[in-house]
A = this chain, B = another copy of it.
Amino acid sequence: MGLRDELIGIAQAGREAARKLASAGTAIKDSALRAMADAILQKQKEIQAANDQDVSAARKAGTTGALLDRLTLNEKRVSEMARDLREIAELPDPVGEVEHEIVRPNGLRVGRMRVPLGVIGMVYEARPNVTADAAGLCLKSGNAVILRGGKEAVESNRAIGQIIIQAIQAAGLPPACVQVVETTERQVVRELLTLEGQLDAVIPRGGREFLNWVASTATVPVIRHGDGNCHVYIDASADLDMAEAIAFNAKVQRPGVCNAAETLLVHAEIAPLVLPKLLASLDEAKVEIRGCKHTREIYPVAKKATEEDWATEFLDLILAVRVVENLDEALAHIARYGSGHSEAIVTSDYFRAERFLREVDAASVLVNASTRFVDGGQFGLGAEIGISTQKLHARGPMGLRELTCTKFIVRGQGQIRT
């Protein structure tokens, strides 16, 4: 049996499971989610042992800081996986909700019922907690999911997958609600992306090059988890302490993730006041500063920023810094180099705050808050299945609702059209 036939078999098993899952009530889905959480905590050592194999293999292969950070599990991250699953169990179930029901003048009741998408393919990279999050979010939203994680995390994903699937089965749901593709062949991804009619959507996560390849290859609809070249702009009117705290947090708190800041923009008026102290404290936190000419006049230790730096998602302890003349220049910089992920302004000026919110074309726009908050959990969606930077279907952190669609339902009393 060829690879494609094997995947079609997996997709069809997923379709069958999805039909049963769609008619399963919320209670049974929630008890499965809690069973998954329990099992993850009970078998924490098993997961950790599998992850240790992955991490040491990655170290041997010379994997860099940010990637290694994303791959690594510890007691805290494993218990967070379990906590996220419990949080998903607590969230309201969107399936079956009817929204915007109206009565037309002819008496027809027209509403939109939320229904699962069906079978979702998830193609992702190193982070093994995605395996549990994606399984939990898809299960709660009534979708079967086919998981294909990065080859770096193959042992972690296999262990987490087995534990989860056993818990689902024990809770009385079909095990094929969650399926993990274990083969590490790259060709698997190409085949998954072209299973049109078999998969209802594919959610890819990875670097820009990978996502572009997915977009040009896929015939299945794609919900793209985009890369994050995020900016913090410190306006002339900013509170100095607040600006320092937000810029520092956005860069340093977890540099290896997509909502970390990559470029700092600073209004020329406030630059001499804010930059010396802020850049020194970043320096102390081992952040490499790459500045524009003006920045280097204020802070001569900084390296020279290149054109490429403005366009780069470092995912590491590197920050590009540019002094701008005004808000217009900041907005133009963001429009040119930003990836449409998360953009923040620090300001005390009402009109500039409102203008930034309105004019920045990004999935998330923040005033006086760190870009690090852009996250399904922080936004109250529960654990997220990704952060979309596309405009269609889902934009920004994607939770349960973004894994469903609607159908119109119409209740009549015999109406015909004249």
* A positions within 8 Å CB-CB of B: 23, 96, 102, 104, 108, 110, 112-113, 115, 117-118, 196, 200-201, 215-216, 219, 221, 223, 239, 242, 245-246, 248-249, 253, 353, 357-359, 361-370, 372-374, 378-380, 390-393, 395-397, 405-418
Contacts and interface: CB of A to CB of B under 8 A. Distances in A.
A115 B392 CA distance: 12
Nearest to A117: B391
Contact of A368 (B223, B239, B414): B414
A246 B390 CA distance: 41
A11 to B, nearest CB: 15
Contacts of A364: 407-410
Contact of A391 (B102, B118, B239, B363): B118
A157 to B, nearest CB: 26
A408 B342 CA distance: 9
A246 B373 contact: no
Given A391-B201, A395-B405, A405-B392, A414 B242 contact: yes
24 contacts: A96-B358, A108-B369, A108-B373, A110-B380, A115-B361, A117-B391, A215-B219, A221-B390, A242-B414, A249-B416, A253-B416, A357-B411, A364-B407, A364-B409, A366-B410, A369-B410, A369-B413, A369-B415, A370-B416, A370-B417, A372-B417, A373-B410, A373-B417, A395-B408
B219 A380 contact: no
A246 B414 contact: yes
Contacts of A368: 411-415
Nearest to A194: B216
Contact of A409 (B110, B365, B417): B365
Contacts of A380: 102, 104, 110
The 3 A-B pairs with the shortest beta carbon distances in the complex, nearest first, are A369-B412, A249-B416, A393-B393
A406 B412 contact: no
Nearest to A390: B221
Contacts of A239: 414
A418 B369 CA distance: 12
A110 B357 CA distance: 12
A104 B381 CA distance: 11
Given A357-B409, A380-B110, A414 B365 contact: no
B416 A363 contact: no
Contacts of A358: 23, 96, 113
Contacts of A396: 112, 406-408
**Most chain-B Cβ atoms within 10 A of its Cβ — which of A368, A370, A379, A408?**
A408
Nearest to A369: B412
A345 to B, nearest CB: 10
A407 B379 contact: no
Contacts of A373: 108, 410, 412, 415, 417
Contact of A363 (B242, B367, B408): B408
Contacts of A249: 416-417
A51 B239 CA distance: 64
